[in-house]
Every structure is written in C-alpha cells, then in structure tokens.
Structure 1
Amino acid sequence: MIEMISAILPFFIIMGLGAGIAPFIEREKWIEVLNKYGLFIGFPAIILASLTKVRDYSTLDLRIIYANISILLISIALILFISKIARLSKEIRNTYMICSFWGNVAYLGFPLLSGLYPDSKNVISVIIAVYIIVVFTVGVIILEISQNEKSIDILLLLKNLLKNPLLLSVLAAIALVKFDIMLPKVLQTSIDMFAASASPVVLLSLGIFISRKIQFNKNFIHSAFISSYKLILLPLIFILILQFFNFSKIDSSISIMESAMPLAITPFALAEIYPLDKEIISMAVIISTMLSLFTLIAISVLIQ
C-alpha cells in the first residue's frame, strides 16, 4: 500500500500544480494547446516508444489481450442495454457508452504501472493499445451510427479512423515490430524524449481542467454514476471474470488497474464531433480524477 501511495502521489502533485495555476492563466487556451500536444505528439510517442522497444513478444500471453477486448465489449453492451431500458437520450446514452470504459490508461496508467511493474512494460503497452483500438473502432462506429442513423458513409468513416494519430501510432508500432524494422537511434531518442514529456504535460492540463466548478444539477447524478462505474464497477467486473482464467498475477493486476483509471479528457474532444453531453463528461472527468487517488489505492490493495 505504501508503495502504491508513493507511486501515485507525484501524478497528483502535477495535477495539483495545474489546478493551482488555473486562476492566473487563460485556462481554455492552455487546455487546448497542452491536450493537442498530448494527442498529436505525446500519446503517439508513448505508444511507439513502448511497443517498439520490446522486440520479443513470444512470452506475452495473448489470452490477456482477448480477455481485455472481450470484457470491454461486454461492458459496452451492458451499458448500452441498461441505457436503452432507461430510455436515456441519444447524447446521454453515447456519453455513458464511451465514458464507461475509456480511462486515462496512457498519461496516468502507463507511467504509474511502469513504476510498479518495470519488467512488464510490453504487457502495459499492449493493453493500452487494446483500449485505443476498441475506442476508435467499436466506440467511434457506435457514435457514427447514432449520429447518422439513416445512412453511414463507410469510406468517410474509414478515412476519419485512419487520420486518428493514436490509432495510426498503434498500427505503425505493430508494423515496425512485425517486420523487425529498427528506427535510427537519433529518431528513437527523439521519440523517447517526446514520450517522457507526455504525461507531465497532459497531467498539468488535466489539473487545469479539474479546477472547474462542479454544477450540482441533474447531470451531476449521471457524472457520479459514470465515475462510480469507471472507478469501481468496471474493475470489479475485470476481477470477477479474470479469476476464472489462469493468467499470471502481474498480467491480471495490470489489466485490472488499467480498467480502474479515471476518465480521460478524450471523450470531451469527441463531443465536438459526435452527440455527447459535454457537461456530464467534464464533471465525470473531475469527479473520477479526484476520487481515483483513493480508489486506485483501494483496488491495488484488493488485488494484492
């Protein structure tokens, strides 16, 4: 428990710094610039740096990939089913769907879990890639269907997917490993430097973001439920299902901890394109991030 507290506190110190400087800066401009850096440079660099450094994936238990994909799809189906029965609006239903599983798996999850499991960076990287693939394929397709219920332009959808820097970085990393292509040392060093800068930059942005005031209105209930599902129920679903399979302790722990990460800001950006509720998302980001300091520690103790 002490190890987990020591590992997680630096991330919240950076977020606290962001919240502290928020009143003295142009908040929205800072958030936009820092998040774009993370989206187009930092996050892709993390994916490329982590996936390409480990060339031998023969020891990786592929079942853990299938298990993570399956559980995420089960979660998506469950949320859509419940929200349909509850007769939620399209915007709120989409918000529940995308926010229920997409957490801060890279900027918080990768450095935190890499510190706790330094010899398992390949597993951490692959599981992050799973989340990216699911959110930008299944998740985006569901959002596209909800937005264009009468007709869907498949070619336009594929074009938009292939323009996504996160998905492209995963595909590029897979290709480099598959064909055993080694990047020039100077390029690899540059990517490593960008990757190292990603988490502090985006966590600072997240700190600025969560300094917003929470509105205690009807949407607060939705945000609180999403946060509870993301931080508590989803990890418990992972624990329940993974215990029936003979996975290594580390593989299971990494999967569970990644599922317990607080909501990331990505859905807020997706709300610019798709029918999602920005207010619910923003409050869920704030609530889940603040509570995750305690829930991540609790989950880590539970799975020890």
Structure 2
Amino acid sequence: MDIIYIIVILILLGFLLKHIGILSEKDKVALNNIVISVAMPATIFLSILTNVQRSDLASYFKLTIFILIISLACAGVSYLIGKAMKMDMKSLAAFILVSCCGNTAFMGFAVCSGFYGVDGFVRAIFCDTATLFIIIFIGTYLGIKVSGQKVSMVKQVVKFPPMIAWFVSIVLVILGFQITILPTFLTTTLGYLSGLMVPLIMISLGLSLSPKYLKVAAVPAILVTVIQLFFAPILGIGLTHIISFAPLDRNVAIIESAMPPAMTPLVFSEIYGMNSKLISGATFLATVVSLVSIPALHLLLEAGLI
C-alpha cells in the first residue's frame, strides 16, 4: 500500500509546485517528453531484457489481448452512451477516447511495480502495449473524424518511442539476446534513466490535474469514472474466467483494467480539436477516485474475495 502514499505525495508535489509558481502547467510538456522519449523506453528495454524469456512471451501476450478487449468494450459502451446523450462530434470523440484509454503506463507501471515488484511491472508493460495501440489507432481515427486531417495511423505507431523500445526488446528476446552482453556502464545508465520515470510521471500528473473544468463537464466526468473504474474491472474479472491466467498475471490484468484515464487523450484533443474540457474534467475526477478504488481492489484481490 506504500506505493499509493508515494503516488499521492508525488502528485501533490506537482500540484504544489504549480501553485507556488516554481513550475507551470505548460512544463508538463517537457516532463512528458522526457518520460516518453527517454525514461520509458529505457525502462521497457531494461525490464524486458532482464526479466522476460522467450518461453514467457505467449502468456504475456494474453495480457495484451485482455486489455485490448477491455478497452474496445469501454469504447463501445461510451459510444452508445454518448449517442444516447446526443453529444456533438467533438464531445463524443473526446468521451469515447477518454473512456477507453486507461492510464496503464503512467500510473499503471508505478502501481503494479509497487504492489507486485519487478514481475508485476514487466506484466504491466504488456498490458500497456494494448493501450498504446488503442490510443494511437482510435485517437487518430477519431481525430480524423473531428478535424478532417489526413494522418497515417501506422506512422503514429512506428515512430512512438515506447513502442519502438518494446518491439526491439521483443525481437532481441526472441533472438536469445542476453543483457549481460552489454557493458556495465550502459546498463547502469539505463537504470538511472529508468529511475526518472515514476517521479516525473507523477509530478507531471500533478501539474496536469485541475478541477476547473469539472463543473462544465460533470455528467460526462462521472460517466467516465464509472466506465473506467467500475465497469472495466468488473468486465475484467469476468473475462479472467474465460482467459486463463496465472495468479500474478490475473491480478496485474485486473488492476491495469481499473486504471483512470490516460493523459494522452488530452494531447490528442488539443491536436485535433476535440472537447478538451470534457477530457480534463473526467481525468481529474477519475484519477482522484482511483486513489481509493485501486487500493480497495488490490485488497479484495489479495484477500481472494474476487
């Protein structure tokens, strides 16, 4: 449970640094760029090559499929709800995107490594692979619908640094590459870069969170919170009775399915002109609620009650 206290402290640190003027909300762009382009690829590369064997890949890819199913189900449910509420296209696109993209990396990595150590973190990487595909493909598709821009979804995937690191790492695992071949100074450097990830992610999250848009998007924010934090994990628990998992794999899969919205949809909303206020309000509310719902879910899993 200590990881939740650590996360809360780091998020509050980012929030405090913004409000006393040391950092501003726009500084989150620089922090996120460091995380996405440097810290996260280093973490993925080092963790996979250190902890994953070729024989593990089949079971780990089931985690990717699991999160894909959950995300697509959330997208479908949010589409039906948004249509029933007669949302305009900008709001509907934002509602679908923020409902189907869980924070399986920024928060999921920290939570799973805190609850389950390195083994949990490695499994979380394969969960987040699904989220990367969902964010890029659904985000780009919805963005094209809203803005009319012509963008190649394949190029978006190919040039995304964490995806590149994941792909290269998997290929090296298949080829039987051993990380011990690398010089010690290089693996130590990767370790230092990896250590930046969680603190920068949480501080950036603190900079991003703001309740100011909650009033104008209260109903969608509540619906997103219900979809992400309650519908998704309940569906996930049911799905684990269909897809067989080892106990640790099952726990990580369910915890990752219960993450609040990712921060990336806000980036897509600004690029393509979606309703960014809806995404900001929903992300704030769901993230705050998740600081209670995720520990509660973890306790239920550890007690064997679900």
Instruction: Give the match for residue 76 of structure 1.
Output: 75
Aligned match for 1:49, one of 34, 42, 46: 46
- Find the counterpart in structure 2 of residue 282 from structure 1: 280
Offset of 1:91 from its aligned partner? 1.5
Instruction: Give 2:17's match in structure 1, choosing from 2, 21, 24.
Output: 21
2-structure distance, mates of 1:111, 1:239: 21
Deviation at 1:42, TM superposition (A): 2.0
Amino acid at match of 1:132: L
Kept in 1: contact 2:54–2:174 (CA 8 A): no
Distance in 1, matches of 2:140 and 2:211, equals: 32
Tell me which amino acid in the other structure corresponds to 1:206: L
Measure, in 2, the Cα distance between the counterparts of 1:206 and 1:189: 27
- Per the TM alignment, residue 152 of structure 1 is displaced from its structure 2 partner at its CA by 5.0
TM-score (norm 1): 0.86
CA contact (8 A) 1:90 1:275 kept: no
Alignment of 1:108-123 (within 5 A): 108-118=107-117, 119-123=119-123
State the shift of 1:196 in Å: 1.2
Change over 3 Å in CA distance of 1:122–1:18 after alignment to 2: closer
Contact 1:136 1:167 (8 Å CA) reproduced: no
Alignment of 1:1-304 (within 5 A): 4=1, 6-25=2-21, 26-59=23-56, 61=59, 62-118=61-117, 119-137=119-137, 139-147=138-146, 152=150, 156-182=152-178, 184-185=182-183, 186-210=185-209, 212-304=210-302
- d(CA) in 2 for partners of 1:215, 1:143: 22
Cα deviation, 1:152-171, whole Å, max 9, x if unaligned, reads 56xx4433332222322222
Match of 2:241, as an amino acid?
Q
Q: Which structure 1 residue ranges, 4+ long, deviate > 6 Å from structure 2?
A: none
* Aligned residue type for 1:260: A
Aligned length: 295
Whole-angstrom distance in 1 between the partners of 2:33 and 2:122: 26
Q: Structure 2 vs 1, CA of residues 181 and 143 (structure 1 numbering), >3 Å: closer, same or farther?
A: farther
Compared with structure 1, are the counterparts of its residues 176 and 136 closer, same or farther at alpha carbon in structure 2 (3 Å cutoff)?
A: farther
* Paired residue type of 1:96: F
Distance in 2 separating the partners of 1:299 and 1:81:
27
- 1:101–1:234: 8 Å Cα contact kept in structure 2? no
Distance 1:66 1:216 in 2: 33
Tell me, in whole angstroms, the C-alpha distance in 2 between the residues paired with 1:85 and 1:75.
15
- Given that 1:227 and 1:287 are in contact with CA atoms closer than 8 Å, whether structure 2 keeps it comes out as yes
For structure 1, the 5+ residue unaligned runs are: none
In 1, Cα distance between equivalents of 2:124 and 2:153:
29
Kept in 2: contact 1:92–1:276 (CA 8 A): yes
Amino acid at match of 1:12: V
Give the Å deviation of 1:182: 4.6
Once residues 81 and 125 of structure 1 are traced to their aligned partners in structure 2, the CA distance between those partners, rounded to angstroms, is 30
Deviations, residues 234-282 of structure 1 (Å, cap 9, x unaligned)? 1111112223343222211101111112222211111222242111111
- CA gap 1:101/1:188 in 2 versus in 1, 3 angstroms: farther
Q: Counterpart of 1:258 in 2: which secondary structure?
A: helix
Secondary structure, in 3 states, of the residue corresponding to 2:196?
helix
TM-score scaled to structure 2, two decimals? Answer: 0.86
Contact in 1 for aligned 2:224/2:282 (Cα 8 Å)? yes
Counterpart residue identity of residue 114, structure 1:
S
Change (3 A) 1:159 1:113: closer
Contact persistence 2:214–2:282 (CA under 8 A) = no
